[in-house]
Amino acid sequence: MILNTFTPIKIRQGRLLDLDSIQIWGWQEQALALPVDATGYGMVTAGQAVLDDPGAGRFELRQGMFFALPKGGSVQGGSGLVIALSGYRGLRQIGGPLEAVGRLRYIDGCSDTLLISPPRLGEPCLNHLHIPPHTDQTPHTHPSVRIGVIMGGTGECRTPEGVYPLHPGMGWYIPTGCLHSFFTRDEALDVVAWHPDSDFGPRDDDHPMINRTVIPPGAC
């Protein structure tokens, strides 16, 4: 499927979009079985959910929590969105709920927290973008798709093709190179955004364990 501009996604039960190696799924109370040949990145948008992980057991999640789950499993209860990347084995992770603001600076007074870091340079990541009230963001693009949900607040996504209202619990998709910006009035906007790739992350020759390992002269 080819989508050329910002696309709102109504969360319902089942598969919502098929983008070749990336699939977007939704659940509403009923159990959603996650693909076994993919890593699923999930976000609970409302209520309480139970994540059934075949490798680690069952976990109770509530609104604002998120997870990364490789090799299948299921989620049931509440509602939420899952982004499944086929052929990729991510790290099993559970986190949240979201903090009030992000920990890193972003453009135009916004802030961001890297919720799920890429295990290696170039691999996927999950972010919490906090957009304060009265923000008129600079129009910009990204070199790869962005997919996510509105977790709290209201605002707009503005593109050359139109203006799209944003509200809690809605999913969204932004294609590669789509010019867009977020706009808020009296209320902040909290967005969870998934990236399929990153220009940041550890390498075999550059990560905290090896960088902070010191071998004294003559020790070998």
Mean pLDDT of the region 58-77: 97
Name the token pair of 111. 């802030």
Domains within the chain, CATH numbers bracketed: 7-95 (2.60.120.10), 104-195 (2.60.120.10)
The phi-psi region of residue 134 (left if phi > 0; otherwise alpha if psi is between -120 and 50; otherwise beta) is: left
- In the prediction, which pLDDT does 2 show? 58
- In the prediction, which pLDDT does 34 show? 96
Residue 166 has pLDDT above 80, yes or no: yes
- In the prediction, which pLDDT does 68 show? 98
Residue 1 has pLDDT above 70, yes or no: no
Residue 129 has pLDDT above 80, yes or no: yes
Name the token pair of 113. 């927290």
Question: Taking Cα atoms as reference points, which of 36, 116, 44, 97 lies closest to residue 75?
Answer: 44
**pLDDT one-digit tens code per residue, 196-212:** 999 999 999 999 999 99
Q: Are the C-beta atoms of residues 122 and 199 closer than 8 Å to each other?
A: yes
pTM equals 0.95
What is the number of other CB atoms lying within 10 angstroms of the CB of residue 50?
14
Name the token pair of 180. 């867009």
pLDDT confidence tier of residue 59, bands split at 50, 70 and 90: very high
Mean pLDDT of the region 169-184: 97
- In the prediction, which pLDDT does 3 show? 79
Q: Are the C-beta atoms of residues 146 and 140 closer than 8 Å to each other?
A: no
The full DSSP string for 41-65 is EEEEEESEEEEEETTTEEEEEETT-
Residue 90 has pLDDT above 60, yes or no: yes
Give the mean pLDDT of the chain: 96
Residue 8's alpha-carbon distances to 22, 63, 126, 147, 167, in angstroms, are 16, 20, 19, 10, 10
Residue 220 has pLDDT above 80, yes or no: no
Question: Taking Cα atoms as reference points, which of 35, 210, 203, 37 lies closest to residue 118?
Answer: 203
